[in-house]
Amino acid sequence: MNGTGPGAARAIVEELAPGLSRHWQVDEVICDVRTEFQELVIGRTAQGVALFSGGERQSTEFSQLVYHEALLVPAMLLADKIERVLVISSGEGVVSQLAVAAGATHVDHVDIDRDAVRLCAEHLPYGYTVSELHRAESGLGPITVHYRDGWEFVERSTQAYDIVVVDLPTRVACQLSTTVCTTPISCGCAGLSVGLSFPRPAAQPCGATTRYAGRGGAFMKPFVR
């Protein structure tokens, strides 16, 4: 992991579409790091402390709760029960915390980028604190953090989940969309939530096909194999 500590103000230009961009004024760069998997910037903006990956805004202090609730709440409303939840990516940890607050007794949080998750816990005023993350890494409590590839975790998992949430940066979701479309996965989950949720009976394994890829993962629909 290479990077710098706190620094002066800088601008980040987030490309939204051809000819369309969003300009962020970062008044103070808290950290600017290249991990094994991504370029990560955390800084102070007019929207509070914000997280950027590869030049794309991932979450901000002022709006993150609306975003993270939108990922999880539809699934909670449709699921038969909320006991076991699988969260893939979403390194801030907010979705995992919301699931526990809603009654989940076990949350598996899978993220491939250990450095990014730890930097979020250290510098973001939302999501895991450093001590909370340490407990989750040790499996002490309802949340267990696994530093693994999410696709590999799902392929090898024999557990059933009431809700599955996938929250990936836009470019990663778009890269995965072709693979997800052509290769069904058997995740053995009772409900699949990727941005939106479509619960399934617990006895039926489900796979997924991509309908739309974007920040917040890919919006998927499950099917019975």
User: CATH for 10-62?
Assistant: 2.30.140.10
Confidence grade of residue 7 (pLDDT, cut at 50, 70, 90): confident
Could you report the per-residue pLDDT of 12-53, keeping only the tens digit for each? 999 989 999 999 999 999 999 999 999 999 999 999 999 999
Superfamily of domain 64-181: Vaccinia Virus protein VP39 (3.40.50.150)
Selecting among 111, 113, 162, 167, the annotated active-site residue is 167
Q: Which residues contact 111 (CB under 8 A, 6 or more apart)?
A: 88, 89, 90, 91, 117, 145, 146, 147, 150
Which helix (H) or strand (E) segment holds residue 174: the answer is helix 170-182
162 classed as catalytic? no
Could you report the per-residue pLDDT of 65-94, keeping only the tens digit for each? 999 999 999 999 999 999 999 999 999 999
CA distance 121 to 128: 5
Q: Could you tell me where in the chain the CATH 3.40.50.150 domains are found?
A: 64-181
Q: What is the pTM of this model?
A: 0.76
